Chains A and B, each alone.
Chain A
């Protein structure tokens, strides 16, 4: 390794770079010249980000375009509109069941998430701190449960739901969603509980606290970031779930947003696109807003579950 191109770039980079920062946050990027970074970094990055975000722009644009401009692509430029309309949103909110579907989705997601987090907190605490006989085995089994996808379970679950008389009721979803959420959030919380010092619990035990008190008064307050992560991730998963909602719900009034939009809005109408996209946008917005407030928690949930 005696070739010299690196030193060449190095010199140039040193000459053009600003004063080196003390905290090393700049890394070694000063080794690269600006034109080179333009081609190797900014160009590909902007192409990928453009492709990733374009569908949302298109969704939003379609939702506010007047119908006439939507289908006439020759007289109006399809990429922009100068007279946005809220007609589609109006139709969605006041002339369809959309508010009810949003409410159903919210209701199911909040209940299922709450149930799963309670169950997961107890399970994770028991596996990590009580260390009962076979705790590791149970932890492994829960991880395996994470890998069982809904698409192989929905047929037998449909018969189970029918037998229990839960068919076409939100309760069917509230009780089945935790099977998707519990394995994930248990693993996430196990990771958080492990970081809480054992000594705190020992002190509390000596002071005569029961396990239940320790969990409520010591462990949970310290695991709040983990709980928020688990909550947000579970909530997103619930909102996103499709196949169970499609199979277990039948009446229009009970449907969740994703299922309702696919089934109720898709008719032969050429002008449906505006309200369809408005519906898709309005259905995504709550999650995007939630995400915008808790990006860090969301990312740590996503990566945490994989790392564990």
Chain B
């Protein structure tokens, strides 16, 4: 600070023209540019460029170790007649829709429960978030073991309760395998939805509920006409993220079933990995991955309008 105080004494130098070097150092647009360089460098080199490259690859017959030729829509035509691709689309939609709907239901319910006043509140909230912290693959392995065909603890418990006679073949049967991966996805996603909605719930003023109680509103009416409308904007954002990440899920499936049995749990992401990296058909894999983009765009639109609505509700202060 001492320099600053002393500086004016010798500040008698003549005022000179701003050189272009000064421009680069002080002009806010140029400064902004310099500050943005690292972030933009990463995002352009490793995000925007690959995104474009991926779409280009989907129009070529590139294989691992061989540069591809442009072949137009051939990959897509090939996929159009591919039953496994359509099965994976169906699986992805089923997985996304069922898992997101249940995640929303249980997440909202859990948020409402956690918002109540009770002992050990902070500890409970912290514990609830643990499934979200632990790396997905590692918890998927735990589920793999829990759903083991011979030594499943669930089969064991049900057998000892006298509900079933035989072990359930959780990950070997197509229907059960789908249920299991959806369950594992819900298990992992609920904490995120619940804790984010809880943060939204805590911004709702208690006086609204007090006023409603004085007016004789039931608990359901309070939820329907106070909680839900005030939460809508945050619900829109949370659910967009949830849908987006469920739709493009890869690791959970890969760790638990690798797409089996008989492709019953193949999602588009796992199928594209299998075709592109394991089978070496980069072009075809890229076509499957690019086929996800329209769905992502739809999700982004929802998110965008959700955000806009939030701005409108909260006025200028939202910034």
Chain A positions within 8 Å of B, measured between CB atoms, are 1-3, 6, 24-29, 31, 37, 41-42, 44-45, 48-49, 51-53, 55-56, 58-59, 62, 70-71, 73, 78, 115-116, 118-120, 122-123, 125-127, 130-133, 135, 138, 142, 144-145, 147-160, 175-176, 178-179, 182-183, 186, 194, 207-208, 210-211, 236, 239-240, 242-243, 246-247, 257-259, 261-262, 273, 276-277, 279-281, 283-284, 287-288, 291-292, 295, 298-299, 302-303, 306-307
Decide: A123 near B7, CB < 8 A? Known: A257-B135, A258-B135.
no
Q: A127-B36, A131-B32, A152-B54 are in contact. List 18 more A-B contacts (CB 8 A).
A: A6-B216, A122-B38, A126-B32, A130-B35, A132-B28, A133-B32, A142-B43, A144-B300, A151-B292, A156-B50, A158-B276, A211-B31, A247-B277, A261-B137, A262-B254, A280-B142, A298-B133, A307-B234
CA distance A276 to B217 in the complex (A): 53
Contact with A along B233-256 (1 / 0, CB 8 A): 010011001001100111100110
CA distance A120 to B38 in the complex (A): 8
Let me know if A149 and B296 touch, CB within 8 A: yes
Let me know if B142 and A58 touch, CB within 8 A: yes
Let me know if B244 and A2 touch, CB within 8 A: no
**Cβ 8 A contact of A207, one of B4, B28, B136, B296:** B4
B-side contacts of A78, CB under 8 Å: 153, 156
Let me know if B29 and A277 touch, CB within 8 A: no
**Cβ 8 A contact of A123, one of B39, B126, B135, B137:** B39
B46 at the interface (CB under 8 A from A): yes
Contacts of B245-295 to chain A: CB distance below 8 A: 245, 248-251, 254-255, 269, 272-273, 276-277, 282, 285-286, 289-290, 292-293
Considering the complex, give the chain A residue whose CB is closest to the CB of B285.
Answer: A155
**Cβ 8 A contact of B46, one of A1, A53, A176:** A176
Let me know if B151 and A71 touch, CB within 8 A: yes
A-side contacts of B191, CB under 8 Å: 52
Of A55, A194, A247, most buried by chain B (CB within 10 Å of CB) is A55
Decide: A151 near B248, CB < 8 A? Known: A41-B113, A55-B139.
yes
Let me know if B57 and A58 touch, CB within 8 A: no
Considering the complex, give the chain A residue whose CB is closest to the CB of B27.
Answer: A132
CA distance A63 to B53 in the complex (A): 44
B161 at the interface (CB under 8 A from A): no
B230 at the interface (CB under 8 A from A): no
B98 at the interface (CB under 8 A from A): no
Let me know if B35 and A125 touch, CB within 8 A: yes
Let me know if A236 and B277 touch, CB within 8 A: no
Can you list 20 pairs linking A and B with CB atoms under 8 Å apart? A1-B215, A6-B216, A28-B209, A45-B114, A48-B128, A58-B146, A122-B39, A145-B47, A145-B48, A148-B296, A149-B244, A149-B248, A152-B296, A154-B273, A182-B39, A182-B42, A242-B251, A247-B277, A273-B148, A281-B138
Let me know if A276 and B141 touch, CB within 8 A: yes
The 4 closest A-B pairs by CB, nearest first: A132-B32, A126-B35, A123-B39, A149-B248
Let me know if B127 and A284 touch, CB within 8 A: no
Interface segment among B12-20, B76-84, B192-200: the answer is B192-200
**Cβ 8 A contact of A1, one of B217, B245, B293:** B217
Considering the complex, give the chain B residue whose CB is closest to the CB of A79.
Answer: B153
Decide: A306 near B35, CB < 8 A? Known: A155-B289, A299-B199.
no
Chain B positions within 8 Å of A, measured between CB atoms, are 4, 7, 25, 28-29, 31-33, 35-43, 46-51, 53-54, 57, 62, 106, 109-110, 113-114, 116-118, 124-131, 133-139, 141-143, 145-146, 148, 151, 153, 156, 187, 190-192, 195-196, 199, 206, 209-210, 213, 215-218, 234, 237-238, 241, 244-245, 248-251, 254-255, 269, 272-273, 276-277, 282, 285-286, 289-290, 292-293, 296, 299-300, 303, 319
- A302 to chain B minimum Cβ distance, whole angstroms, is 6
**Cβ 8 A contact of B50, one of A6, A53, A73, A157:** A157
A-side contacts of B42, CB under 8 Å: 115-116, 119, 175, 178-179, 182
CA distance A287 to B129 in the complex (A): 12
CA distance A157 to B57 in the complex (A): 11
Let me know if A55 and B187 touch, CB within 8 A: yes
**Cβ 8 A contact of B145, one of A58, A120, A130, A131:** A58
- B209 to chain A minimum Cβ distance, whole angstroms, is 6
Of A24, A41, A280, most buried by chain B (CB within 10 Å of CB) is A280
Decide: A306 near B36, CB < 8 A? Known: A152-B248, A157-B46.
no
B-side contacts of A178, CB under 8 Å: 42, 46
**Cβ 8 A contact of B142, one of A29, A59, A144, A262:** A59
Decide: A303 near B31, CB < 8 A? Known: A48-B106, A49-B124, A155-B285.
no
Let me know if A52 and B187 touch, CB within 8 A: yes
CA distance A192 to B87 in the complex (A): 45
**Cβ 8 A contact of A48, one of B49, B110, B241, B300:** B110
CA distance A26 to B248 in the complex (A): 42
Let me know if A302 and B196 touch, CB within 8 A: yes
A-side contacts of B153, CB under 8 Å: 58, 78
Let me know if A151 and B282 touch, CB within 8 A: no
Decide: A284 near B145, CB < 8 A? Known: A28-B210, A52-B128, A120-B39.
no
Let me know if A53 and B127 touch, CB within 8 A: yes
A-side contacts of B289, CB under 8 Å: 151-155
